[in-house]
Each structure stands twice: as C-alpha cells, then as structure tokens.
Structure 1
Amino acid sequence: MSAIVKCLMAGFAGLAVATPAAAESWSRFSSSDRTVYLVDLDALTPVEGVVTTRLARVPAQGPATDLSRETEEVMVRCSDGQSRSGTSVTYDASGAETDRYSEDTPWEATPNGGVYGAIKSFACDNMRPESKSWPTIQAFIEDGRGK
C-alpha cells in the first residue's frame, strides 16, 4: 500500500473517531401512573418517505439513580398513515443494556390518539410536544422525570 493511501486511510479513521454521536432531544409527550413516554425529536426526519424515531418508556416514579427504561424504534409512513416497530432495547437500573430485539412487524394503520397516534402526529403533521426537552433520557430522569 502506498504512503498516500495509508495517510488517507488514517485520516478517514480519525474522522470516524472524532465524529460526534447523533444529537438527541427527548421530550415528554404522555404519561400514566406508572410510565412516562418520551420521543426523540431530533430523529423525526423523513428518509425516502419514512420517518424513524425512538420512543422511550420510563418508570414514572423512582430515584434519580434508577436509569431503567425501554426504547423502541418506531417507523411511520406518512403517505398512508401506517407505522411499525423496529428494534427495542431494555436497560436496567444502572443504565446498562439488558435486552435487545427486533420486531419485524408489518406496516399497520396507525389510529389517531394514543402513543403511536402521537408519534404519527409528530412525524407527519410536524406537531411537537409542549414540554421542554432533555439531551438524554438520563438527564430527564435526573431532572425529576419531567415533574
């Protein structure tokens, strides 16, 4: 391999390491007595007609040190109002990933209302929750879980 190719490869490798992680902006949009629902607003960008974002389910109660939660990838096709689930990840109280699985669910009609209806409104109608946003789910939890 020539010296020029080696230098270029080293430069590209350095760029990959220096690239910042994708931005996150988690906003609370729904809750029950047991669960708070958040959506990653920064992920609401359509690609080839499909908006893929992440939904988080966080226990509504608990100490700031309990980082347990579940995230789910939700894909919405605005052209026909259908959605489906992708990868789900479960985290324990320390924030460590404990389970990851992908659902290969078919596209289904997304009814108005409810958690998935709200995600569809965020993705397709450019609506946004009226709560403040947090840069990470951990920041949301440490900030009193949005209370």
Structure 2
Amino acid sequence: MLETVIGPMSDSKPRLRRKATGPARAPLDALLDGPAGDPVRRALWLDDLDGRLRPCLPQGLAAHARLANFDRGRLVFVVDAPVWQAKLRLAIPELLQAARSIGLAASDVVIRTSPGTAVDRKTVLAPRPMSAATQQALQAALASLRDLD
C-alpha cells in the first residue's frame, strides 16, 4: 500500500512511503524502486493531490477540471472548454487556500483548455447512430467487396 506524504514542498517532488502488504504488491514495489519509479510516484502523488483539491471546486466545475501538474508553486489545471476556464478562474482564491492548507507552497494557478479531457469520457466519446443512407452505402461497399472474392 502506498501512503502519500504531502507537506511543504519547495522542490515539488512527491514523497511516498511504501507499506508492505504481501506478495501481491511486489510488482508495484519493484516498479517504484530506484529512479525509474520517479514518474510513477509523481503521477500517483498528482492523482492524490487532484483528489484532495477537486472537492474544493464548485460542484458543476469539478467534473470538467483536473489537476495536471504542480511546479514551482503553480497549480496547473486542465479544463475541457473555455467556459470552464472562466469559472475556474473565479475559484482560484479557494483553490490556493485549499492547497496551502494541505502544505503546498502554492502561489499561482495556471489553467489550460484541452478538449476531450472530461472526467466522464463516455459522454464525450459516445458513438452516434448511423443514418439510413450511411448504412445503405456501407452495405453496398461490403457487398462489392464480397463479389471480388
């Protein structure tokens, strides 16, 4: 089991302590050992930090924003549309206060917009049904391919 330790962080590197929980955790322990595990530890730390900061966001906004990074005192958030960027900008004081309350030396929030980063990707990537004309064209193309055999 991993335990995330978040405290004052001047170098923005996450610190994780490993707890032995038996042979089932051996692959993860091997992955985290040494410098090769640094990106994994950082990703786990950022995910934990996102989980701590997201409840501080307004309810509608939380589903459209995700913490992407923490670097040199800057919290970097990614939202899925410009409207959410504007709403997140209004929540910056609360975010900074929440980050400081858990021991981060946060001084700024950077917001990036990237389509398709919604938490509920099924909604974003839901397939649309084919029109009747498209179905007929597809069936005709498949039939012509069968005739070539």
TM (norm. structure 1) is 0.27
More strand by share: 1
Structure with max Cα Rg:
2
More helix by share: 2
